[in-house]
Structure 1
Amino acid sequence: MSDHRGDAATLSMWLSNKTVNNMRRWIATHAVHVAVDDEQIAGVASVRSDGFILLNYVAPEARFKGASKSLLRDIELWASRRGLEWLALDSTATALRFYLSSGCTMIGPPQPASG
């Protein structure tokens, strides 16, 4: 994956907040959507009440099977029902093409991130 280039330190930093306790907290305090394929979790997305997408992850084996589109569509419907006029996120380099092809607009120049 181009985002972490196999770098253990970068992966560790990205995964540091993906804990059981944080996931429980996100489920309790944010909207969490799950994509399922053949009874297996294919992806998970989380969005704050203000429309900021905190997480939109799809398992590598589920890529290009519609899980990402399904999660984004679910988030958009959730936001629309709440009267939100926009959604925002920080995209990885890998996901940027997907978001742009899904109609998202880049509002700032790429910023260096962990790794």
Structure 2
Amino acid sequence: RALVDTYTGTADFSRAEYGRVIDADERRRRHLLQSLLQAAGLDRAAYRARFGTDPAEDYPDELSAFASKGWLDEGEPDMLRLTPDGLAHSDAVGPRLFSPAVRAAMAAYEGR
């Protein structure tokens, strides 16, 4: 109840109370994850222009795991997007892209 009261009583959402500075790897992971969770998916050329690498080079194990489960739509080579089944399993996709540093921070986090 206190959490909901705090949220509904917050007037200014222009800044986060909690957060962390993210490095280049975390920015790439975040971009990939946020893009995959959108139905439109990720434009590989735009990713390469932004980060200088291809997501398949950056995260081959994770993307291979998604493909082996049938969660990646491989119909358009220039796009990375989840299949309908992949979108249905989006709660499993996200954690697979968490870095070891984020996993450690999550494990160490103690709420107020």
Q: Please report the TM-score for the alignment, with normalisation by the length of structure 2.
A: 0.28
More helix by share: 2
Determine which structure has more spread, i.e. the larger CA radius of gyration.
Answer: 2
Higher strand share: 1
Using structure 1 for the length normalisation, give the TM-score.
0.28
